[in-house]
Structure 1
Amino acid sequence: MREINPSAEREPRGTSADPQRDETQAERADRHWAELLQELRVAQTGVQILFAFLLTVVFQSRFTELSDFDRNLYVVTVLLGAATTGVLVAPVSFHRLVFGRRLKPAAVTWASRLTIAGLVLLFLTMAASLLLILRFVLDDRIAGWLVGIMALWFALCWFFIPLWSRTRHTLK
């Protein structure tokens, strides 16, 4: 049986890492978990719709018109979509399997890492999906340029701006 340190749960108020918040470590973990769940709800819905779309493509009559490259691209895209779905659902599984074990701070840390991995996989899935679709309707060079532009846009919005803001506005 695991021993629980009672003093760890009764951390005094005002000892948070963020001096502007008056919350215990447990309250902070609860708040972070709630915020993370809200973020995951948005990402999971989009990923599930995208993955469902990808799964139906193979059953379309024009699928037979795809070149070998495009069929391979389709397989890679579906695998990326599956990996993205798996990693973005993982925080829910993680939480459920450690629920009641007083591991909320660890669950928040792992869920956050999994969510970031999921965003990277979603980035790759979106780029591959766009390439697959645009190669089918446009010239390969134009499709490549448009996917590159969109990939830069996603990277800017999803990674560079938040990281820039994080470094520029980090609490001291």
Structure 2
Amino acid sequence: MTAESGASGEENATHHHETEKERADRRWTELLQEVRVAQMGIQILLGFLLSVAFTERFEDLGALDRNVYVVTVILGSAATGTLIAPVALHRFVTGHRMKPQTVEWASRLTIAGLVLLLCTVTCALLLILRVVLHNALVWWIVGGLFLWFVTVWFLLPAWARATRAARR
């Protein structure tokens, strides 16, 4: 996927007179706005997860739930690092005339971060609902929500791109 592959027809029509530098600057600004939303969500979730180990009820968790907790914290940490990575990438390459490449790599990191965020949210839901419900319904609820997130975060955008490409 290239930095341009995500451009919609309206975007191309509106910005078709942009230079490569102007396009990269605009796409970087748009990407940062998107990343800020995901960063905020994962940082709040990770903060909550890190505090759970210090609560009284944590001692009551069984082995499976403790393992789910550990995996969730690891995934949340990885998601946080991955969603912050575009900022570090930009900072280290600023001034080296690499903005188009930076936008492309930052876009890939953001998608990877969203996948890790999906996994973190799913595991957090699994842990919380297992503690609250104590029954097999948990797996159905978590599975359904996982499918919902996959649908609205990944399948819907993929479908929109494929539909747009087919109309060209």
Tell whether the structures are fold-level matches, with TM greater than 0.5. yes
Runs of 4+ aligned residues of structure 1 deviating over 2 Å after TM superposition are 17-20
Distance in 2 (CA, whole Å) between partners of 1:140 and 1:102 is: 56
> Structure 2: any 5+ residue segments left out of the alignment?
1-10
The corresponding residue for 1:59 is: 54
Q: CA deviation at 1:140?
A: 3.4
Quote the residue 2:6 is aligned against.
none
Counterpart code for 1:58 = A
Which amino acid in 2 is paired with 1:124?
Answer: C
Distance apart, 1:70 and its partner CA: 0.4
Question: Paired residue for 1:78, among 55, 73, 80?
Answer: 73
Q: Residues 33-44 of structure 1 correspond to what in structure 2 (within 5 A)?
A: 33-44=28-39
- Name 2:122's counterpart in structure 1: 127
Q: TM-score normalised to the size of structure 2? A: 0.90
The 3-state SS of whatever aligns with 2:136 is helix
Q: Percent identity?
A: 56
The structure carrying a bigger helix percent of its residues is 2
Instruction: Give 1:103's aligned residue.
Output: 98
Q: CA RMSD in A?
A: 1.4
Aligned length: 156
TM-score by length of 1: 0.88
Q: Which has the higher contact order (CA 8 A, sep 6+)?
A: 2
- 2:145 alignment counterpart: 150
Structure 1 residues without counterparts, runs of 5 or longer: 1-16
> Residues of 1 paired with 2:81 and 2:135: CA distance?
31
The structure whose Rg is larger is 1
Q: Report the CA distance between 1:19 and its aligned residue.
A: 5.6
CA distance in 2: counterparts of 1:132 and 1:140, whole angstroms: 12
- Does residue 22 (structure 1) correspond to residue 17 (structure 2)? The answer is yes
